[in-house]
Amino acid sequence: MTDILTILLKITVVIFMAGNLLDLGLRVNLKEALQGLRDVRFATLSVLWAFVLCPALAYGLTLVIPLTPAYAMGLILLGLAPCAPLLPAMAEKARGDLNYAASFILLASAGTVIYMPIMVPLLVKGLTVSAWAVAKPMLILVLIPLVIGVVIQSRWPSTASRLQPPVKKFTGLDTVLMLILVIIIYGKGFIGSIGTYAIGTQVIFFSVITAASYALGFGMPRGQRSVLSLGICTRNCGAAMAPLFVAQGVDQNAIVMVSLGIPMMFGFAAIAARLFAARAGQPANLRQPGHV
């Protein structure tokens, strides 16, 4: 029975990743998203936080906190995978710049596809997996769905408008099923993590990346700083799990550690979005409804 549930979980993770990226692509206005990437300060800080400072912090925490190897593996994978698909919704609640949210998603998605296959074999000790084994799910489940959605939205916007609502609804239902399966399969692991350093380490990790990425915005407007912080504190847990699903003999606690990142990022992102909205004052005139 557990084997069947595990197979179902892998299927829901695939749908979660591909569906959310397709949904985002169908809503992204490519020209406006690229404007944010031309902002040197925003692009530089985004790359620095997403692909240097967050992985460094996660790896550093595993050196100073006595985590078990499996928990350490899960934390490093979380550190390597920035930006969950819920960023646009959180950025809107935070009254952030939604054009820059789209820019961050494009940068994080492309960067994850290139970065994780290189860094996972180097940083994640005990995970026997080749660079191509990591790259393949990143290409299939992250880059290709996003590109397909962006192309449809750019060339056939009316078709994109018709496709996006059912894609979003189906992916939302899949997300609920995925979370239920995670609880059923790894519920004992969650309970077992109580009293270890796993939960406390994640609290430290998410606290630092959320607060520091906003505070060290170095003169960026608040709308951009909030997008950067929310993009950094939301983690692509599907991408973080992918190497664990393709590797052999993985300790289940590594998957538990990544799964713990789901409620952590939701909680930190929701609190941060509310605080950022309060600091922003009146909502800015951003985008028309229906676009990222």
Residue 53 has a pLDDT of 97
- The burial class, CB within 10 Å (0-12 / 13-18 / 19+), for 172 is middle
Residue 288 has a pLDDT of 42
- Residue 141 CB contacts under 8 Å (≥ 6 apart), including other chains: 14, 17, 18, 21, 238, 239, 242
pTM for this structure?
Answer: 0.87
Residue 198 has a pLDDT of 94
- Residue 81 CB contacts under 8 Å (≥ 6 apart), including other chains: 112, 116, 235, 236, 237, 239, 240
Residue 284 has a pLDDT of 41
Residue 16 has a pLDDT of 87
Residue 28 has a pLDDT of 83
Report how far residue 178's alpha carbon sits from residue 187's, in angstroms, rounded to the nearest whole number: 13
Domains of the chain: 2-280 (1.20.1530.20)
Residue 63 has a pLDDT of 96
- Those residues of the chain that have pLDDT short of 50 are 283-291
